[in-house]
Amino acid sequence: DVKVTQSSRYLVKRTGEKVFLECVQDMDHENMFWYRQDPGLGLRLIYFSYDVKMKEKGDIPEGYSVSREKKERFSLILESASTNQTSMYLCASSLGGSINEQFFGPGTRLTVL
């Protein structure tokens, strides 16, 4: 079975802190994604990566950056956390090509105080 893990289920940070959210997948997938999930808005794509050291902005990249130094790991970075970044963050991965589904991690619920 594909396994996508995220470093924390719950995280509480203070405004202005630098925050790292880690995601690891164990199936050698080329593509990895970071979404945020908010009630009434569904999931919105923040960043994605289709190869090591490659990244592309999604629909809401402002205030975020990412890092992919190894194929299995994709990190989301909040350089200076703000209260409007309080949300559920979901990581996903998929094989390249065609109609391959995305496999999701359990999510990290981040609260910024």
113 in contact with other proteins (CB under 8 A): no
Residue 50 backbone phi and psi in degrees, to 5: -110, 5
If binding means CB under 8 A, how many residues of this protein chain bind other proteins? Answer: 26
CB 70 within 8 A of CB 52: yes
CB 15 → other proteins: shortest distance, Å?
Answer: 27
Per-residue binding string, other proteins, 70-109, x by CB under 8 A, is --------------------x-x-x-x--xxxx-xxxx--
Spatial distance between the Cα atoms of 106 and 34, rounded to a whole number of angstroms: 12
Binding mask 17-56 for other proteins (x = CB under 8 A): --------------x-x-x----xxxxxx--x-x-----x
R_g (Cα) of the chain, nearest Å: 13
C-beta of 78: minimal distance to other proteins in Å? 21
Beta-carbon contacts of 83 under 8 Å, excluding residues fewer than 6 positions away, are 15, 112, 113
